[in-house]
Structure 1
Amino acid sequence: MPQIVVTIDGKTYRMACAEGEEKHLETLAADVDGKIAELRQSFGQIGDLRLTVMAAIMATDQLHEARRRLNEMETRAAADGEARAASEAGGESVRQEYARDLDETAAALERITAKLGGGL
């Protein structure tokens, strides 16, 4: 199992990860480091543990918001799919009605043609 070393808030950590996940874990660690640096700049020296907890809450908030937006998009996509299906079903109904009207018109024309042909 590969191991990498990441630096967060000036401290280094050795971490294990799955094969091929090294770059992803380094990116995640850099994001955490960035959040902690942002918090440290905003709040100053308020303690490592507090900064870490605040960074975790910020990351969790972003994850929660992303999940909420994903659920909203999935709901909207499902509603759009249902509307599309209803529209297609309505379109099929219109096509069937149009076909019936054409059949009736053709039958009427045949009757008229028969009457005209029989009278001549």
Structure 2
Amino acid sequence: MAEIMLQIAGRPYPIRCRDGEEAHITHLASMIDQKARQAQQATPGLTEVRALLFAGLFLADELNDLKREAAGRQTRLPLDGDDEPSARAIEALAGRIEKLRDRLAASAPDA
């Protein structure tokens, strides 16, 4: 186990993590620190707990927006058959796969 010291909202936090995860955990902590500092600047006098609460809410809001955006992209994919170029490309790939299957079947030793 590795031990690292994180700085969030001006306070040190000693954290243990798996070996090799130090850089990742430090990066995540810097994201939390950035949001906590934004909360402290927007509302001077916030307690440490409330600054961290707002940091968590800011990050959760960003995550929610990204999930919603990703879901919207999935529903807009043009794979309903109306997209002629995509349909042709898929048919061509299917044909290539069938040819490869036939070649592999022909070269395989009989079992």
**TM-score over 0.5 for the pair:** yes
SS at match of 2:79: helix
Is 1:4 aligned to residue 4 of structure 2? yes
Larger radius of gyration: 1
5 Å-filtered alignment, 1:35-114, equals 35-77=35-77, 80-83=78-81, 84=83, 88=87
Q: Offset of 1:21 from its aligned partner?
A: 1.8
Q: Offset of 1:3 from its aligned partner?
A: 2.1
d(CA) in 1 for partners of 2:20, 2:33:
22
Count of matched residue pairs? 88
Percent identity over paired residues: 28
Q: Offset of 1:50 from its aligned partner?
A: 1.2
Unaligned runs of 5+ in 2: 92-111
Where in structure 1 do 4 or more consecutive aligned residues deviate above 4 Å? none
Unaligned runs of 5+ in 1: 93-120
What TM-score, normalized by structure 1, do the two folds share? 0.63
Q: With CA pairs under 8 Å and 6+ residues apart, which has the higher RCO, 1 or 2? A: 2
Q: Offset of 1:18 from its aligned partner?
A: 2.9
| Structure 1 or 2: more helix by fraction | 1
What TM-score, normalized by structure 2, do the two folds share? 0.68
State the Cα deviation string for residues 53-98 of structure 1 (Å, max 9, x = none).
Answer: 1111111000111111111112222xx122337x738xx9xxxxxx
